[in-house]
Amino acid sequence: MSTPARIPEATIRRFSLYLRHLEALDADQVDHAPSGLLAARIGTTAAQVRKDLSHLGSFGKRGLGYSVPALTAVLRRTLGLDRRWRVALLGAGRIGTALFQYEPFRRRGFCITTVIDADPRKIGRRLGDVRIRSEGRLEEALREDRIELAIVAVPAEAAQRLVDRAVAAGVGAVLNYAPVPLRVPTGVALRNVSMLVELESLSHALANGRARPVREEAR
Amino acid sequence: MSTPARIPEATIRRFSLYLRHLEALDADQVDHAPSGLLAARIGTTAAQVRKDLSHLGSFGKRGLGYSVPALTAVLRRTLGLDRRWRVALLGAGRIGTALFQYEPFRRRGFCITTVIDADPRKIGRRLGDVRIRSEGRLEEALREDRIELAIVAVPAEAAQRLVDRAVAAGVGAVLNYAPVPLRVPTGVALRNVSMLVELESLSHALANGRARPVREEAR
């Protein structure tokens, strides 16, 4: 398959959101979705929706909107969701365990086949149907299981070292939930997820009167 | 305190990232941070850093960079982190429990004082030092504990109904981890977190050759 022109990251993120809503529309047996409907669902403008989806070719019919099944299929393909991905979870603590058990990952084809932890008491135990393996044998585990993507959920102080080793062992993409931003070489995809970013954008809104004062309207 | 001019949401999100790095620099006893250093740490340009921080007044010294303690203080204040927030967790399942125990939330002043669940077997049990209360008495619990911010971690089908009730009971901000986007009235702050968005942006990168082919460089 030829490599299409690079799509902006913000657009890719909205593709994920469109897909969620298209699947909901499909479940409700809606055949066509106008740009305005998709815009309202994800909180953007119809013009933005049209611009985003123009990256994918031509799907809209004037007056009818986008074909829900056709657009769903092309979004799934564009997001790499038309296949399964072999994923390793590095860190079987609380966050890691919750991520492992997060059903939507599975449904989308992200298969966590490998779980690694540093705690000797956890090695050999199972998380779902996966046996937890020792961090000491990280490279071996990643190669054996032909891991493509690593989800990092280890303590801050262990994260960079572990990711360096995973990258050296051939992992091409890293989703980082450790509470510290990581760095990877060019050519490796990385997303640093900070659960604080969202919460702090809310406390900013509350502190600066963007949200209503608490309890003003209550009672 | 007067309400400052509205700061773009993307800038607010970067404020959170700058703050994390400034705190790390401060721990390393670095006094001043040039815009280029902050830019490199969060993966943006020095011009963007200067533009972002110009929203906060004047902190930079030519040749020296930003004062780490001064900028840390103003970012904390801007993000509403110079006080504690009373937070309720709606849903004490796997994701909810992991969020409850996520140490960085606490350190930033987000105190989860109230935990609500619908499962009768969980009511009365403790999560940390908080007793899990019944969803049936949501409004009473939120008002008693003067909750300002709700973190939603319930199944998709329960989420909107519960948030409607929380908002009616006076909650001013909602952080949504349920796997469905929610809607709230104007004046209530909302962030829908999809853990899939990050993962799908990685699978897009892998599928479209933005990340190196797996194992090409390994062995």
Q: In CATH terms, are A9-78 and A85-193 the same topology?
A: no
**Chain B residues within an 8 Å CB radius of A42:** 181
Reported pTM: 0.82
Report CB contact under 8 Å: B194, A20.
yes
For residue range B57-89, list pLDDT tens digits in order: 876 666 788 999 999 999 999 999 999 999 999
Residue A82 has a pLDDT of 95
> Does A17 sit within 8 Å of B203, measured CB to CB?
no
What does the domain layout of chain B look like in residue ranges? 9-78, 85-197
Give me A155's structure tokens: 């303590």
Residue B103 pLDDT: 86
Q: CATH number for the A85-193 domain, one of 3.40.50.11900, 3.40.50.720, 3.40.1010.10, 3.40.250.10?
A: 3.40.50.720
What pLDDT does residue A61 have? 65
For chain B, 219 residues long, give each residue's pLDDT as a single digit of tens. 444 568 988 899 899 999 989 998 999 999 999 999 999 888 789 999 999 999 998 766 667 889 999 999 999 999 999 999 999 999 999 899 999 998 889 989 999 999 999 999 999 999 999 999 999 999 999 999 999 999 999 998 999 999 999 999 999 999 999 988 899 999 999 998 888 888 999 999 999 886 654 433 332
Query: What are the residues whose beta carbons fall under 8 Å from the beta carbon of A94, sequence distance 6 or more?
Result: B97, B98, B101, B102
For A:148-207, CB contacts with B below 8 A are 148-149, 151, 168-175, 179-181, 187-189, 191, 193-207
Q: What are phi and psi of A93, to 5 degrees?
A: -85, -155
Q: What pLDDT, on the 0 to 100 scale, is given for residue A60?
A: 63
- The ipTM is 0.88
CA A53 to chain centre: 20
Superfamily in which the B85-197 domain is placed by CATH: NAD(P)-binding Rossmann-like Domain (3.40.50.720)
Average pLDDT over all residues of chain A: 89
Of A6, A102, A214, nearest to B170 by CB-CB distance is A214
Select the residue of B41, B95, B204 nearest A12 (Cβ to Cβ).
B204
Nearest by CB to B148, which of A80, A193, A214? A214
The CATH code belonging to domain A9-78 is: 1.10.10.10
Residue B141 near residue B116, CB atoms below 8 Å: yes
Given this model, what pLDDT does residue B210 score? 66
Measured between beta carbons, the chain A residues lying within 8 angstroms of B147 are 214
Low-confidence ranges of chain A (pLDDT < 70): 1-5, 59-62, 210-219
